[in-house]
Amino acid sequence: MTEPGRVRRRVVVAGRVQGVWFRDSCRQQAIAAGVAGWVRNRPDGTVEAVFEGPPDAVAALVAWCRTGPPLARVTRVDEFEERPTGEEMFRIR
């Protein structure tokens, strides 16, 4: 069962996003914003993340992914809308 007013977005972030503390920085941002979900490195060199929570907070996390942490060089962010599943915490996979 999901709460009303929650949204879920999946993003795939391309560029120099692995080996630059992207996942841990993303986790810190999500926890501070009260957003649940997860983040992981993909074999193709991209980072994938799922954000679930209040619409404004999720939108802020998606926007953060467009720049990422200081050492990242983001070239593309693909965003996908999904149905909330009831994520309760944010973790690195």
For residue 31, the domain's CATH number is: 3.30.70.100
Q: Please indicate whether residue 23 is annotated as part of the active site.
A: yes
- Rounded to a whole number, what is the largest CA-CA distance in the chain? 38
The dihedral region occupied by 53, where left means phi > 0, alpha psi between -120 and 50, and beta the remainder, is: left
Q: Please indicate whether residue 40 is annotated as part of the active site.
A: no
Of 6, 9, 41, 66, which residue is the catalytic one?
A: 41
If DSSP codes are grouped into helix, strand and coil, which group holds residue 68? coil
The confidence score (pLDDT) of residue 1 equals 47
Query: Is residue 64 situated within a structural domain?
Result: yes
The dihedral region occupied by 26, where left means phi > 0, alpha psi between -120 and 50, and beta the remainder, is: alpha
- What pTM value is reported for the model? 0.93
Q: How confident is the model at residue 4 (pLDDT cuts 50, 70, 90)?
A: confident
Domain count, the chain: 1
pLDDT tens profile 21-31: 999 999 999 99
The confidence score (pLDDT) of residue 85 equals 95
pLDDT tens profile 36-79: 999 999 999 999 999 999 999 999 999 999 999 999 999 999 99
Instruction: List the domain range (segments joined by +) for residue 14.
Output: 7-83
Query: Is residue 24 situated within a structural domain?
Result: yes
Query: Is residue 20 situated within a structural domain?
Result: yes
Task: Choose among 27, 25, 46, 41: nearest CA to 91.
Answer: 27
Query: Is residue 2 situated within a structural domain?
Result: no
Of 23, 66, 73, 76, which residue is the catalytic one?
A: 23
Query: Is residue 90 situated within a structural domain?
Result: no
